[in-house]
Structure 1
Amino acid sequence: AIKGGTPPDLYRGDMPMQFEIARLDAALPLDEHIKKNDPDMLTDVPKNVWDMCTYKGSIIAVPEDFFVPVIYYNKDLFQEAGIGEFPTTWDGLLEAARKLHKPREGKFGIEWMSWGDGPYWSTGALFLSNGGNFVEDGKVVFASENNARTFAFLTELFQYTPPGLSTFGYDDWDKAFYLGKVGIQLGNGSWSIGNYRELAPNLNYGIAPYNLVGPMGTEPVVPGHGVCFYMVMKGTKYPDEAARVITWLVSKENHLEWCEKLWHTPVRTSTFANPFFDDPRFDAFKFELTRAQAIFTGDVATVFNPLIADTFRRVFWDIVEGGADIEATLKTGAQEMEKILAELGK
């Protein structure tokens, strides 16, 4: 619609569409509108979330939902395996997966998403928390020693996954956990709290943050790449009215109602202060809210899918499942990423 010259007045979308729209010079800057309609929002929403809604120094979207990957685990299976608290080290995670893995009984230690950008969503925190990264300041830094070490660790973990994991779709991955077949599930989100109330009301599970610093890392880091948002198109005849509508939609009152009904992670810290979010299952999301880093923003975000859903996913499975040489495969993957980034300048 934008390229055809008939854009809507308002747009609601998911990452990374806000940057694709902004790159087309179709996004209305919202800084002054937010200051006028809801100035508290500017400080109520953490800076790292605003980073996902900012293009070339201007706010171009108002965030509504903030999705970060967390770790779900089956408390009953943990107890059966003699595991206490959820581990906070790589060695502890590997040992827990080993103890939980009982394939003859149809039970498996660990799983992660396998499709699209799922491997990044589920395991990206391990790369970042080990001092690695994918792109920094517009340059590919994928073929690093840190990332090689993370791939080696994931290859160890892979032996404790369900058979055929690389072919799983969402339903396969989801059912494996809520039917009690998998002990640890990397990369779920807040939406499943509400889903599991209906699908598996007796499931005894906990939710842990990615508080897993690798041997080459210094602090836990989570990839922040899951913000849903509202935008106003630059060509609208009603910029003031449109901006007022989207700030109203994410006002404190409306934002609370939205998050309560859908069990979504709030973007407003004042919403998190509501007693509804005292549920301990939200503790992991509170831990990650300000730790999530927006790795893919600006123009780089517009090539997220070819960089991550295509290249990284292929490299991931070639190494983890296929046994490909880690350093050589990382180097080839980095070269492919560099070609993709080079297209941005054309």
Structure 2
Amino acid sequence: MKNTVATLAVVTLGAAVALTGCSGPAGSSSTASSGPVNLTFWHGYTEADGKVLDKIVQDFNASQSGVKITTTTKTWAVIGDTLLPALSAKQGPDIVALPAENLPVYAAKGAFAKLDDFYSSATTKSASLNPNAVDMEKVNGSYYGVPTGFVPLSVIYNKALFAKAGISTFPTTWDEWVADAKKLTVDQNNDGTPEQYGLALPDHATVGNGVWASLFYGNGGALVDGTKSVVDSDANVQTLTYWAKAVTQDKISPTGLDGVASDKLFSSGKAAMEVGGPWMASVATENKIDYGIAGIPAGPKGQGASAIGISAAVTTQAGAAKKAAAEKFFDYLFSKDVATQWSLGSGWPPLRTDIPSSAVSSNPVVASLTDIAGTAKPLLPGVATSSDILKSVDEATQKALAGGDPAGLLKTASTAVQQSLAG
């Protein structure tokens, strides 16, 4: 799980290879009537989750005789580097899983087939798929993928440090969160540099760049509204000002943290809390930290969290017969028993809203994430220039937590974001 999502902050798209003629000639996707439709499936689930997915594919193959899927495991970066060249050479996969923020980029290049028919089918409509997860599959009004992972960012916390500070319950609001973080910040020699921080809050290059989007959501803010940048909204200025003060004046977190440094600070026991992804549970276990997982506390306008997502798409080289076969597999993957199996084995909360946390209670991390999954929102769904937009926001948050003016920095970022949206 750790390697699966830790690379999501890097958008690696490979060479900009034209996909004209990517689809094979008429009839090229069909197979002999005496045999199954053979599909190739690339994915980047490289740890235990990959073994679970491969087992699900094997079970699907054994459950029927019309479709046979062969999986190939690559890292997400390798998929990004090789997908377009492989498709241009007509040697790419029929199905590919990839970080959800990359989906609109490839869809815009003509790499993926539309899946509107899949979502309009009675089987899919009855599957109770998380609507926010489904939203991240839409580009320019059409669907180009299906979710295979959708998990909200959350807060992992060190229970022993909480107990030592006399804190018995996890905070539920920003003000409570900052107040507890101050209690958990320890500067033993009063030199201005705490030996222990209440919170590891990365100000740039964080997981999926979703930490700051999550905080903006909590105050009613956003990054874009359709094709318009709202990065410099009053709500976002208030949010960045609030958290910059908590870091620079109250010193609840070091400045200059990226996502990797934030992970290290928590795993070393030098930070009591961290906003991050579910892989931190295994990191905490490796470092013998007694941890809890909680939703990001609510801001003035409510609770919200950006989600990390993985999508699976059917490539345009597949053709009609293979596309239909792939959709048959997606139906299998989203069936209730298989969706539960995938959730328990992969560490992602269930993609179906009718699978309660009690059904996955044998995996406490998954159960905790299931309870807070309703707060999750996809980050910049359908926006092909999301990486450029997030870099602009990154620059503003990093400089603000180093003492810069939040309003001016967000205004500059908003101008850059608007240019990115304009293409």
- State whether TM-score is above 0.5: yes
Q: Please show how residues 290-309 of structure 1 align to structure 2 within 5 Å.
A: 290-298=374-382, 301-308=383-390
Aligned with 1:66: secondary structure?
Answer: strand
2:98 to 7, 10, 13: 13
**Match for residue 211 of structure 1 among 297, 301, 308:** 297
- Contact residue 204 and residue 395 of structure 2 kept, 8 A: no
Aligned-partner SS, 1:103: coil
Shift of 1:288: 3.2
The whole-number CA distance in structure 2 between the counterparts of 1:242 and 1:280 is 32
Aligned to 1:133: 222
Greater relative contact order (CA < 8 Å, ≥ 6 in sequence): 1
CA contact (8 A) 2:306 2:378 kept: yes
TM-score where L is the length of structure 2: 0.70
What amino acid is the match of 1:10?
Answer: I
Distance 2:89 2:263 in 1: 41
Instruction: Give the SS at the match of 1:182.
Output: coil
Alignment of 1:289-328 (within 5 A): 289-298=373-382, 301-308=383-390, 310-321=391-402, 323-328=403-408
Q: CA deviation at 1:65?
A: 1.1
Once residues 100 and 280 of structure 1 are traced to their aligned partners in structure 2, the CA distance between those partners, rounded to angstroms, is: 25
1:269, CA displacement in angstroms? 2.7
How far apart, in 2, do the equivalents of 1:95 and 1:256 lie?
Answer: 38
CA drift at 1:277 = 2.9
Q: Does the aligned pair in 1 maintain the 2:151–2:376 contact within 8 Å?
A: no
Match of 2:220, SS state, is coil
Correspondence list, 1:1-150, <5 A: 1-2=83-84, 4=88, 6=90, 7-33=92-118, 39-40=123-124, 43-104=127-188, 106-118=195-207, 120-150=209-239
> Gaps (5+ residues) in structure 1?
none
Distance of 1:119 and 1:232 partners within structure 2: 23
Q: Do the aligned partners of residues 2 and 247 (structure 1) sit closer, same or farther apart at CA in structure 2, a change above 3 Å counting? A: farther
Whole-Å Cα distance in 2 between the matches of residues 302 and 145 of structure 1?
26
- Cα displacement (A) at 1:302: 1.2
What letter is aligned with 1:342?
Answer: A
TM-score by length of 1: 0.85
Shift of residue 169, structure 1, vs aligned partner: 5.2
Structure 1 residue 257 corresponds to structure 2 residue 338: no
Distance 1:120 1:266 in 2: 23
Across the two proteins, how many residue pairs are aligned to each other? 329
> 1:122-166 CA distances to partner (integer Å, 9 max, x unpaired)?
232221111211110210111122111111111122143454x52
User: Does the 8 Å contact 1:110/1:157 carry over to 2?
Assistant: no
Task: Name the SS of the counterpart of 1:240 in structure 2.
Answer: helix
User: Which consecutive unaligned segments of at least 5 residues does structure 2 have?
Assistant: 1-82, 189-193
Q: Shift of the alpha carbon at 1:11?
A: 1.1
Following superposition, the deviation at residue 248 of structure 1 comes to 3.1
**Percentage identity across aligned positions?**
23
For the pair shown, the structure with the greater C-alpha radius of gyration is 2
Helix, strand or coil at the partner of 2:274: strand
